[in-house]
Amino acid sequence: MASLANTIRAASLVGVTALAAAGPAFAGVTPTPAPVLAAGAPALAVFGAGYYLIRRMRRR
């Protein structure tokens, strides 16, 4: 049961982070250039790695 809760929590974190990173890209009415859309990918990777490391340290 705890594994399912952790999976749901991780998926929620990824979803919220992706929406927060991509939100400014969809704010304008004009078409958004590709570099602005791709700027959220590194941020998502950094947040994911940090979350993984924090969870890993707490388990020990």
* Side chain identity, residue 42: P
Q: Which tokens sit at 26?
A: 């969809």
* Sequence-separated (6 or more) residues with CB below 8 Å from residue 10: 51
Whole-prediction pTM: 0.38
Domain total in the chain: 1
| 31 has a pLDDT exceeding 80 | no
Q: How far apart are CA 19 and CA 49, in angstroms?
A: 17
**Host domain of residue 16:** 4-58
Confidence of residue 8 (pLDDT cuts 50, 70, 90): confident
